[in-house]
Structure 1
Amino acid sequence: MLGFQPYETFNLLIETGGVDRTNTLLIAACDAYARRGKPTSPEMEQFETLAARLFPVAGAQARAKGAALLGRAETLSPLLEGLVVAHIGEDLIGFLEAAPELSEATMLDIIARYDVAAAATLARRQDLTNVVLAKLFQMNSRKVYRALADNTSIVPRGAYLSALARSAQMDHIVAESLAKRSDFDAALLAPAFFDLSDQDRVKVIHAFAHRETPLAPIKKTIEQISVANQELTRALMKLFSENRRPEVTKLLSQITGLDEVRCGQIAHDVTGASLFVVLRAFGCSAYDGLKVLIHATAHDNERSQALADFATLFGNVTADSMAYLMSAWRGEVNLLELAKPEYRPFIENSRRTPLQNTHNPIVEEAIEALARIGIKRAS
């Protein structure tokens, strides 16, 4: 078989040759099988029988070497996969990464061991069955969930969507991975808003554009505070222009009901993303809101483009949706409700949608007005 002596001769050598001879036979047989290419059914059956006898008798080093050689074979049956996984030792991760195919039985066996590194490697594969996915999602491991979040072959819906969204709230790396995916609703990343990059924070806000949201609990707090928009924006402009951000923190804490730690993050967020959420939640218009953002942000050369983006967002996101986002920061809402049909965006993004014009008259007017006044923008 496979260029060796007849199968009966192998049996005789195993029975009479001792461990050293068995080690030699195992390595030679595994190497020959790996070089064989795609074997016929009879050849695979004979080799399965031979390997099942050789592996238990051979020494530890020979088993590991034989498994490593066997792992390079073009075709492995579930039985042979099981032998490789059982004996390959430190090379297991490499085998799981390189194997063109893995049976469901082998994957489930690896998951059952609760080998986190091996399970995380499986979670990156493109050939996962629903049964295997269900088992992986049941594992309480950050490494596994980070791998699942990176795996674009997994469609985030149903129970998988819920599990990934919950994991994003606890692990910023999962949140960052999901924010980069076009098939994941970025609105579900609202609780992880302050762990995201500048670009991804704006992406979360964009996810609320042209979208109805459930009633936000914080809306009652906003309605109970009799603060005129112009008074609010005037106060914030003055504080930001004088770089009195600790006082901005206290003011935001008084009017939003958010804790001081969160308000401190908003006050010191030089991207303006979190401040935009607050301003829009209180119903500020683009003109008034941008006057505050000009003082609060530090966009340097990209300033005009960033402000143009916010100007568009003032028109595309409602005050209620930003109030809902603020409630998500306080953990008061079940974000998975956004997956319901009535709360999905009613204008889908299209590749044919032209890029927004960066020459936004509202932005240009606000910047020119600021230059005329001569107020020094906070750094």
Structure 2
Amino acid sequence: MLGFQPYETFQLLIETGGVDRTNTLLIAACDAYARRGKPTAPEMEQFEALAGRLFPIASANARAKGAAILGRAEVLSPALERLVVDNIGEDLNTFLSGARELSETTLIDIIARYEVSSAALIAARPDLSNVVLAKLFQMNSRKVYRALAANTAIAPRGAYLSALARSAQMDHLVAEALARRDDFDTALLAPAFFDLSDDHRIKVIQAFANRETPAAPIKKTIEQLTVANAELTKALMKLFSENRRPEVTRLLSQITGLDEVRCGQIAHDVTGASLFVILRAFGCSAYDGLKVLIHATSHDSERSKALADFATLFGNVSPDAMAYLMSAWRGEVNLLELAKPQHKPFSEQPVRRPARTLAPAHNPVVDQAIEALARIGVRRAS
């Protein structure tokens, strides 16, 4: 069989050779099968019978070595996969990473053992069935969910979308993995906003562009303060220009209803992303909002580009959308409502095109804001 002694000879050697010879035969047979390439159906059937006799009576070391060799084979039947998994020992994760194909039964059996490291490797595979995915999503493991979040072969829809969005609220690494994906609605990462990197915070805001959002509970509070909009921007600009961020924290806490810790994060966020949310939610225009952001942010050589990006966002993101994002920070909304068709982003809007063709350093809204600050003489860096 398989290029060397016939099956009957193996049977005779097993019966008369003892453990040492069994060990040798097991390793030799596994090596021959692994080198075979794609075996025929009769060859696989014969090897299954042979391996089924050899593995139980070989020593532990020989079983592990034989299983490791067998795991490198191009094609394994479910029965052979089971022999590998049951005997490979510490090399199981290597097998899971390298195997081209694995049967659903084998994967489910491994998941049932609740070995988190092995389950996480399975979660990263591109060939998972719905049954296997359902088992993985039932596991209460951050490591598994991080692998699922990074696996672009898994479409984030339905129950999977809900599970990933909930996990992102509890694990910033899951949130970062989802933010890197092009097929995930980053608006659902609003509760994890402050755990995300600077670029991904902007992605969350951009996900609300040209989008109808459900009514935000915080909207009534904001409406009561909009009459003092001009006074608000003046106060914030003055406080940021004098680097009085603790006072900014107290002011934001009074007007937003957010807790003081969250307001402190906003006040000290030198990227300006979270402050943009507040300013736009209260209806600030690009002209007034940028005057505040210039003092609140620290972009150095990239300041013009960052401010141009914010100018575009002022045009594309509605106050209602940012009010909804603030309500998400307060845990007052069910973000999965955004997955409904009526709350999906509008199709490509022509309003976005000028922002792509306009050089950041020559955005007129940015230039106007900077010129206004120059005139009033309060352009002190924060």
Q: TM-score, normalised by structure 2?
A: 0.96
CA–CA separation in structure 2 for the residues paired with 1:239 and 1:347: 39
CA distance in 1, matches of 2:96, 2:373: 60
SS of equivalent to 1:331: coil
Closer, same or farther: CA 257–172 of 1 in aligned 2, 3 Å: same
Q: Distance in 2 between matches of 1:169 and 1:367?
A: 37
Partners of 1:349 and 1:317 lie apart in 2 by 12
**Residue in structure 2 matched with residue 374 of structure 1 by the alignment:** 377
Instruction: List, as ranges, runs of 4+ consecutive aligned residues in structure 1 with deviation greater than 4 Å.
Output: none
Deviates most, 73-82 or 4-13: 4-13
Distance 1:236 1:265 in 2: 15
Q: Which stretch of the first structure deviates more once superposed, 289-298 or 14-23?
A: 14-23
* Contact 1:294–1:377 (8 Å) recurs in 2: no
Question: Equivalent residue for 1:38?
Answer: 38
Q: For 1:302 and 1:294, locate their aligned partners in 2 and report how far apart those are by CA, in whole Å.
A: 12
Question: Tell me, what secondary structure is at the counterpart of 1:225?
Answer: helix
Contact 1:137 1:145 in 2 (8 A): yes
**Correspondence for 1:158:** 158
Q: How many residues align?
A: 378
TM-score between the two structures when normalised by the length of structure 1: 0.97
3-state SS, counterpart of residue 56 of structure 1: helix
Cα pair distance change 1:353/1:127, threshold 3 Å: farther
Deviation of the 1:9 alpha carbon:
1.9
CA 1:226–1:35 in 2, change beyond 3 Å: closer, same or farther? Answer: closer
**Partner-residue secondary structure (3-state), 1:128:** coil
Indicate the larger mover: 264-273 or 95-104. Answer: 95-104
Q: Match of 1:329, as an amino acid?
A: W
In structure 2, C-alpha distance between the alignment counterparts of 1:353 and 1:365, rounded to whole Å = 21
Tell me the distance in 2 between the aligned counterparts of 1:39 and 1:292.
71
**Letter aligned with residue 220 of structure 1:** K
Residue segments in structure 1 that go unaligned for 5+ positions in a row: none
Alignment RMSD: 1.5
Deviation at residue 349 of structure 1 after TM alignment: 7.8
Partners in 2 of 1:19 and 1:319 — Cα distance? 77
Match of 2:145 in 1: 145
Q: Name the aligned partner's letter for residue 26 of structure 2.
A: L
Return closer, same or farther for 1:356/1:246 CA change in 2, 3 Å cut-off.
Answer: farther
> Which residue does the alignment assign to 2:189?
189
User: 1:6 Cα shift?
Assistant: 2.2
Give the alignment partner of residue 364 of structure 1, picking from 338, 362, 367.
Answer: 367
In the other structure, the counterpart of 2:174 is 174
Contact 2:226/2:283 (<8 A) preserved: no
Q: Give 1:374 shift.
A: 3.0
Equivalents in 1 of 2:372, 2:156: separation in Å? 46
Output aligned runs, 1:54-133, within 5 Å.
54-133=54-133
Distance apart, 1:356 and its partner CA:
4.5
Q: List alignment gaps of at least 5 residues for structure 2.
A: none
* Correspondence list, 1:305-320, <5 A: 305-320=305-320
User: In structure 2, what residue type is equivalent to 1:339?
Assistant: A
Aligned 1:333-372 pairs, distance under 5 A: 333-348=333-348, 355-357=356-358, 358=360, 359-372=362-375
**2:34 partner amino acid:** A
Hey, what's the Cα distance between the residues in 1 that align with 2:201 and 2:226? Answer: 29
**Superposition deviation, residue 188 in structure 1:** 0.2
| Partner deviation per Cα, 1:9-57 (whole Å, 9 max, x = no partner) | 2122212211111111100100011111111111100000000111111
- In the alignment, residue 230 of structure 1 is paired with which amino acid? A
Question: Quick one: distance in 2 between partners of 1:62 and 1:227?
Answer: 80
